[in-house]
């Protein structure tokens, strides 16, 4: 993007020495740390509710697995009764079946997370509160970072960023929500599908540490994936990539999305498609956005509408 004369004069007016830059950076970092600390203290006061919220996808996955396992063994009881060889329902369900369809302990996936050390629960709650505080304080921290970087950009470049940031934040939150509500529960569910028919589960509970890493990885990965249209629009507006080049690499993107999903997600096709599908769709959205936000595209559209 070519710099305008006004851009050059504005850059000269705001030029600072190295010491001034370091002073400004120190002030912005201090503000970010203070806001992060306030967010952490506020969330820690609700640490048990926060940890329960983090466990929600795991509970949802275990409920789906137990429901599928109950249907399997209920079908097994019905098939044995039709064959004239009825089985004892108490082998699979707790007393009260069929009014209460609750699996016995050896068949039921536990929705609790396991800790192996006495202090691990405390440390895990600290970690959960810290990452939630980072998530809450991120808009302010990013704004401080942007304020430091913006001084070195031309006005035209800053305009592109100002227009992109609100959409980028909304898409990031949407991606994290998609990962939290959809990707994580169904990934855990499909990882346990092979154990549905087992008479005795080898492992009935997941470690809290592994689960938190799994949740954080998938949720943040989906947040990053949802940035694709904004990234494509920004590169197009800056004149670095044209809409035609995005369309030319469509097939390469589809293959890359499938490979990326295979690397990041668990080894089951459903979860991989839950990640690859949004990448492909968002890439198509990015192509259309790039076409309609370039000056050439706007001029062509205006020419088509002219009488």
Predicted confidence (pLDDT) per residue in 83-105, tens digit: 888 888 888 888 888 888 888 88
Instruction: Give CA angle at 196 (220, 211), nearest 5°.
Output: 25
Kindly indicate the confidence band of residue 274, based on its pLDDT and cuts at 50, 70 and 90.
confident
Residue 39: the pLDDT is 94
Residue 88: the pLDDT is 86
Residue 302: the pLDDT is 40
Residue 202: the pLDDT is 53
Question: Which tops the pLDDT comparison, 254 or 117?
Answer: 254
Residue 305: the pLDDT is 35
- Spatial separation of the C-alpha atoms in residues 112 and 58, rounded to whole Å: 8
pLDDT tens per residue, range 189-198: 888 877 777 7
Residue 145: the pLDDT is 83
- Whether residue 247 has pLDDT greater than 80: yes
Beta strands in the chain (DSSP E): 113-114, 206-207
Q: How many domains does the chain have?
A: 1
- Whether residue 275 has pLDDT greater than 80: yes
Residue 10: the pLDDT is 54
Kindly indicate the confidence band of residue 304, based on its pLDDT and cuts at 50, 70 and 90.
very low
Residue 276: the pLDDT is 87
User: Per the domain annotation, does 120 fall within a domain?
Assistant: yes
- Spatial separation of the C-alpha atoms in residues 23 and 233, rounded to whole Å: 34
Dihedral angle over CA of 278, 283, 287, 293, nearest 10: 80
Residue 130: the pLDDT is 92
> Is-contact 104 138, C-beta < 8 A?
no
Residue 300: the pLDDT is 42
Residue 238: the pLDDT is 73
User: Per the domain annotation, does 237 fall within a domain?
Assistant: no
Domain containing 54 equals 15-226
User: Per the domain annotation, does 287 fall within a domain?
Assistant: no
**Chain-wide mean pLDDT for the chain?**
80
Residue 33: the pLDDT is 93
User: Per the domain annotation, does 294 fall within a domain?
Assistant: no
Residue 301: the pLDDT is 39
- Spatial separation of the C-alpha atoms in residues 290 and 292, rounded to whole Å: 6
> Is-contact 290 243, C-beta < 8 A?
yes
> Is-contact 132 43, C-beta < 8 A?
yes
User: Per the domain annotation, does 281 fall within a domain?
Assistant: no
User: Per the domain annotation, does 138 fall within a domain?
Assistant: yes
Mean pLDDT over 61-84 rounds to 88
- Spatial separation of the C-alpha atoms in residues 265 and 268, rounded to whole Å: 8
Phi, psi of 197, deg, nearest 5: -90, 0
Percent of the chain residues past pLDDT 90, beyond the cut: 11
Dihedral angle over CA of 136, 138, 144, 147, nearest 10: -130
User: Per the domain annotation, does 217 fall within a domain?
Assistant: yes
Percent of the chain residues past pLDDT 70, beyond the cut: 82
User: Per the domain annotation, does 172 fall within a domain?
Assistant: yes
pLDDT tens per residue, range 44-59: 999 899 988 999 999 9
Question: Which tops the pLDDT comparison, 117 or 195?
Answer: 195
- Spatial separation of the C-alpha atoms in residues 154 and 10, rounded to whole Å: 8
């Amino acid at each position: 993007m070519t710099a305008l004369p006004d851009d050059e004069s504005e850059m000269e007016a705001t030029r600072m020495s190295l010491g001034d830059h370091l002073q400004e950076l120190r002030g912005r970092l201090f503000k970010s740390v203070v806001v992060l600390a306030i967010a952490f203290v506020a969330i820690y006061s609700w640490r048990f509710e926060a940890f329960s919220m983090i466990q929600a996808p795991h509970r949802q996955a275990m409920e789906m697995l137990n429901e599928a396992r109950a249907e399997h063994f209920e079908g097994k009881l019905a098939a044995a009764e039709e064959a004239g060889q009825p089985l004892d329902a108490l082998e699979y369900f707790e007393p009260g079946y069929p009014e209460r369809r609750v699996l016995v302990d050896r068949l039921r996936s536990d929705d609790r997370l396991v800790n192996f050390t006495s202090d691990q629960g405390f440390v895990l709650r600290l970690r959960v509160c810290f990452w939630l505080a980072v998530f809450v304080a991120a808009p302010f921290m990013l704004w401080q970072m942007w304020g430091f970087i913006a001084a070195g950009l031309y006005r035209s470049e800053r305009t592109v960023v100002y227009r992109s940031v609100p959409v980028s934040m909304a898409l990031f939150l949407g991606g994290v929500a998609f990962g939290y509500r959809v990707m994580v529960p169904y990934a855990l569910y499909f990882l346990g599908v092979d154990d549905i028919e087992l008479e005795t589960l080898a492992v009935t509970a997941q470690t809290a540490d592994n689960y938190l890493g799994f949740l954080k990885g998938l949720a943040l990965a989906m947040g990053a994936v949802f940035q694709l249209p904004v990234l494509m629009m920004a590169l197009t507006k800056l004149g670095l990539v044209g809409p035609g080049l995005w369309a030319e690499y469509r097939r390469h993107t589809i293959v890359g999305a499938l490979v990326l999903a295979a690397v990041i997600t668990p080894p089951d096709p459903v979860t991989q498609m839950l990640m690859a599908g949004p990448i492909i769709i968002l890439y198509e959205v990015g192509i259309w956005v790039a076409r309609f936000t370039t000056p050439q595209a706007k001029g062509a559209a205006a020419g088509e509408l002219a009488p």
